[in-house]
Amino acid sequence: MTRIHISEVGPRDGLQNISRVMPLEAKKAWIAAEAAAGVPEIEVGSFVPPSLLPQMADTAELVAFAKGIEGLAVAVLVPNFKGAERAIAAGSQKMSLPFSMSETHSLKNVRKDHTVVLAEIRAIAELVTAQPQAMRPHFEVGLATAFGCTIEGPVDEDNVVRLAAAAMEAGAAEVGLSDTTGYANPAQVKRLVRRVKGEVGADRLNTLHLHNTRGLGLANALAGLEEGITTLDASLGGLGGCPFAPGASGNIVTEDLIFMLEAMGCQTGVDLEKLMKVRSIIAEALSGEPLYGFIPDAGLPLGFAQVAA
């Protein structure tokens, strides 16, 4: 039976895309409840300047809190070297740096071209290596806009493959592929996963980060699984829906993804009934915020038997 690792990114990707700030206690309750439902990894926040994203100002406290939860891998996003310093100081176990495959997007978002980002990856990798073993987070580089860019349009696949190799050469422990813009389609996912794995090594690309902007999120996840992807990012309730697509969640919805995986006979370790109850924590803390997902409304099929978590 295939084991699929779910990384919940709602507390980071979901919350950073809505303007309200979720209170720290509610975030803790969310993280604790989702870990108790069996989710093995949670991206609890981002080490961006609080002046830019006040929603993420409590990330260090969340890392400390989440590290107290037995068996949970505590992940964070870091936008740059300074963020990585803070992530390491906080004791994060995994950190992801987004590296935009569209140079226009990179320049616009973080004012850095590819060469500058690669130098930063190298500096962060050296910083990680300089830590005592117990303080070294797993350092992943997320290849953002890998399937297309809202500014550039199509993104050259040869370039993605080349930049994936460059990120690894600069010292990343692994790369992930991110459909930041919701542009991906299943054929492209298969092709790019295959090509990047072929370049960096099959065990150095494990993760897909998918958005559901155009409704293909789960089909893209399936395509990734078929090419050996073993980790999928998802967001509870699809929190942080796409402003350009009123009915569309942001990230793929954790509940629906786990339903698909468990129905297919994959093992996620997540108890779906327990997971669905976690939605009420978000609904209470962010009253009126739209939550997405099909399975919470439709319910599980009659006689659906989840493989024991």
As a whole number of angstroms, the longest Cα–Cα distance in the chain is: 54
The smaller minimum CB distance to its own copies, of residues 135 and 298, is found at: 298
Contact status: 245 vs its own copies (CB under 8 A) = yes
Write out 111-128 in H/E/C secondary structure: CCCHHHHHHHHHHHHHHH
Structure-block tokens of residue 301:
């099929």
Binding-site size for its own copies (CB under 8 A) equals 47
Interface residue with its own copies, options 68, 154, 198, 201 (CB under 8 A): 154
Contact status: 212 vs its own copies (CB under 8 A) = yes
CA distances from 41 to 13, 37, 71, 213, 237 (A): 14, 11, 9, 24, 17
Contact status: 258 vs its own copies (CB under 8 A) = no
Contact status: 62 vs its own copies (CB under 8 A) = no
- Piece of the chain touching its own copies by CB under 8 A; list 113-121, 131-139, 147-155, 272-280: 147-155
Interface residue with its own copies, options 218, 239, 258, 282 (CB under 8 A): 218
Contact status: 201 vs its own copies (CB under 8 A) = no
Q: String of b and e for 169-206 (b: at least 16 CB within 10 Å)?
A: ebbbbbbbbbbbbbbbbbebbbebbebbbebbeeebbb
The smaller minimum CB distance to its own copies, of residues 132 and 303, is found at: 303
Interface residue with its own copies, options 39, 73, 88, 260 (CB under 8 A): 260
Q: Give the shortest CB-245-to-its own copies separation in angstroms.
A: 4
How far is residue 227's CA from residue 153's CA, in Å, rounded to a whole number?
A: 25
Contact status: 288 vs its own copies (CB under 8 A) = no
How far is residue 142's CA from residue 124's CA, in Å, rounded to a whole number?
A: 14
Task: Give the type of residue at 250.
Answer: G
The smaller minimum CB distance to its own copies, of residues 48 and 242, is found at: 242
Q: Give the shortest CB-210-to-its own copies separation in angstroms.
A: 12
Q: For the chain, where are the alpha helices, taking DSSP H only? A: 24-36, 59-67, 81-90, 103-110, 114-130, 157-169, 186-200, 217-226, 254-263, 272-277, 279-285, 295-298
Contact status: 107 vs its own copies (CB under 8 A) = no
> Can you give the binding site for its own copies, defined by CB under 8 A?
148-154, 181-183, 185-188, 212-216, 218-219, 221-223, 242, 244-248, 253, 256, 259-260, 263-265, 292-295, 297-299, 301-303
Which residues are tagged catalytic? 242
